[in-house]
A and B are shown apart, each in its own frame.
Chain A
């Protein structure tokens, strides 16, 4: 088995009366694609927010390459090598696409000129090279999604957490995005939260399923698709 790169150990998070994450544990292995699925409100995005330090966990531990990261702030975690995208893309609206990517390259670049030199390559990967001068606010939904991914890639992460990058894409655009993610897998470890089953079944090496903040299943895509607990969580009791 490959090296464990990220270990989430028994973490919980409560918001007032809502137990958003309840004793969730899983491991992420190097250069795999781990899919996370679950109905709306299952706690998928919360999980990302906990791993990347936007929320602190109430209990449990998150370990990255043998080092606890659950007390670190988002920027420190990004420096360690974990970058996430946001479910609703968050471009820097007042900056051009070029500057959006430049800003993302900067924290790990020694000089501004070095960062500047990296931008065009990232723009090409996410097919935004023709939009370099457009303002982030003027992009279409699809372009925003691409920019979101571009910004994350620009930080050159080892672990990439993608929060619903497919939402709003047309089928052929999804195919392109899937190819891109599979390509990225060669050099990176990827965790994907996704609603689109066709995508998640196609690209994931393993899948975990969340429901009401708990992990209810884990396994190969094929096992998950046939798992009765999962079917119940999605379709309700009695569905066959």
Chain B
């Protein structure tokens, strides 16, 4: 019987990342690590709906924005701690998700149409944020009112506490994904063929909506983390296409529909982007994007199912070979 090694790998990974916290690293390296974990966390949320269930969203920034603006506005106007604000933001994100997910799933909108819908949703949120400038600051964005380091208010002067927070968020998200074993199987079946899945007694809509809601909730919490960490948000950076696309890229390169794929993708892409930008950004502007693009193309050609698919690919090749030799042997007999 196949042993599930995920908890073991996850434990080791978390322990290593926790130890990194105690290393005397440069501030910039710490920033990259935090950013990497943030994307690993966002990607893990994205992956539930878009990777496992194959309903590709390129508008998930909408939910990041809902989360970020909700907790920020609640904090600014009512001095509500972002710890609670982020849960409220998560609930709002779920409501926004239901608005698009329910009709889409009910009427079987999928493939490119669903993706276009998701892009439109993010555009709507983006424009609403600009339109309600009296409350949201419009295109100029909004900053987080400063408070001295306070755990209760989710504000810290150093980078280290943020690292611990996002490490915990990421761990929880991956743990949730791992725990949803039954739903993961259902979602994969639905991704492959929803009619065939329904014929086997799987409620297609129910499972899709569960995945979509958890996905939106998690990503919205990432939004609150974003504003607490950067202390400033504007509609372009938080509800824009770049963030949506990066979330998707991290997962696709790492391995969509796998538990740790988004994390692998984040740890490859985010540091790479940052290092390329740091080393080449000044001397040859644009070259880092060029190299980044080439890497993406190579990944998509050679590992269309992501880096996490490598072990499975090797195993499948082995199984095929074995089957062939078995068949050969039967033929001789």
A and B bind: yes
Q: Which of A75, A83, A90, A108 contacts B203 (CB 8 A)?
A: A75
The answer on a CB contact under 8 Å between A134 and B319 is yes
A56 within 8 A of B: no
Min CB distance A106 to B, Å, is 6
User: Are A90 and B316 in contact, CB atoms less than 8 angstroms apart?
Assistant: no
Residue of B nearest to A53 (CB): B198
A129 to chain B, nearest CB (A): 12
**Shortest beta-carbon distance from B50 to chain A in Å:** 15
The residue from A83, A99, A136, A138 contacting B185, defined by CB atoms under 8 A apart: A99
A90 touches B185 (CB 8 A): no
The answer to whether A107 and B201 touch across the interface, beta carbons within 8 angstroms, is yes
List, in ascending order, chain B residues with CB within 8 A of A106's CB. 182, 185-186, 202
Q: Mark A93-105, 1 if CB is under 8 A from B, else 0.
A: 1110001001110
Give the interface residue-count category, chain B. 20 to 34
Q: Is A196 an interface residue (CB 8 A)?
A: no
Contact digits for B3-34, partner A, Cβ 8 Å, 1 yes 0 no: 00000000000000000000000000000000
A75–B198 CB distance below 8 A: yes
State the Cβ distance, A138 to closest chain B Cβ, in Å.
7
Residues of B within 8 A of A135 (CB): 316
Could you tell me if B199 and A52 are in contact, using CB atoms closer than 8 angstroms? yes
Query: Which of B197, B198, B200, B202 is packed against the most chain A CB atoms within 10 Å?
Result: B200
Cα distance A103–B192 when bound, in Å?
12
- Report the minimum CB–CB distance from A96 to chain B (whole Å): 8
Give the number of residue pairs across the A-B interface with Cβ within 8 Å.
91
B176 proximal to A (CB < 8 A): no
Interface centre among A73, A94, A95, A152 (most CB of B within 10 A): A94
* Interface set, chain B 187-234, CB cutoff 8 A to A: 188-189, 191-193, 195-204
Please judge, given known A-B contacts A103-B197, A112-B181, whether A92 and B189 are in contact too, CB under 8 Å. yes
Minimal Cβ-Cβ distance residue in A for B54 = A94
Interface size class of A (residues with CB under 8 A): 35 or more
B79 CB–A CB distance under 8 Å = no
Query: CB distance B316 to A78 under 8 Å?
Result: no
Output the least CB separation between A210 and chain B (Å): 21
Q: Is the interface of A mostly helix, strand, loop or mixed?
A: helix
Cβ-neighbour of A94 out of B182, B192, B199, B319 (below 8 A): B192
A145 interface contact, C-beta 8 A:
no
CB distance from B311 to the nearest CB of A (A): 13
* Contacts known (A99-B185, A103-B189); A75 close to B204, Cβ less than 8 A: yes
CA distance A112 to B320 in the complex (A): 27
In the complex, the answer to whether A92 meets B202 with C-beta atoms within 8 Å is: no
Q: Which of A76, A84, A92, A131 contacts B323 (CB 8 A)?
A: A131
Chain B residue at minimum C-beta to C-beta distance from A137: B192
Cβ distance B318 to chain A, nearest Cβ, rounded Å: 9
Per-residue interface assignment for chain A, residues 104 to 119, with 1 indicating a CB less than 8 Å from any chain B CB and 0 otherwise: 1011100010001000
B76 on the A face (CB < 8 A): no
In the bound complex, what is the Cα–Cα distance between A139 and B25 (angstroms)?
52
Cβ A112 vs Cβ B188 within 8 A? no
* B326 in the interface (beta carbon within 8 A): yes
Collect the chain B residues with CB atoms within 8 Å of residue A102's CB.
Answer: 185
Cross-chain contact B189 with A95 (CB below 8 angstroms)? yes
CB A28 to nearest CB in B, in angstroms, measures 18
The answer, yes or no, to whether A74 is at the interface (CB within 8 Å) is yes
B residues near A26, Cβ cutoff 8 Å: none
Across the two chains, which residue of chain B brings its CB closest to A85? B199
Can you give 19 A-B contacts (C-beta < 8 A)? A73-B203, A75-B202, A75-B203, A75-B204, A83-B199, A92-B188, A92-B189, A103-B185, A103-B188, A103-B200, A106-B182, A106-B186, A106-B202, A108-B201, A112-B182, A112-B185, A133-B315, A151-B196, A152-B199
Mark B residues whose CB is within 8 Å of A. 1, 181-182, 185-186, 188-189, 191-193, 195-204, 257, 315-316, 319-320, 323, 326
Residue ranges of A at the interface with B (Cβ–Cβ < 8 Å): 52, 54, 73-76, 78-79, 83-84, 86, 90-95, 99, 102-104, 106-108, 112, 116, 130-131, 133-136, 138, 151-152, 154-155
Q: What 4 A-B pairs come out closest when comparing CB atoms?
A: A78-B201, A107-B201, A92-B192, A74-B198
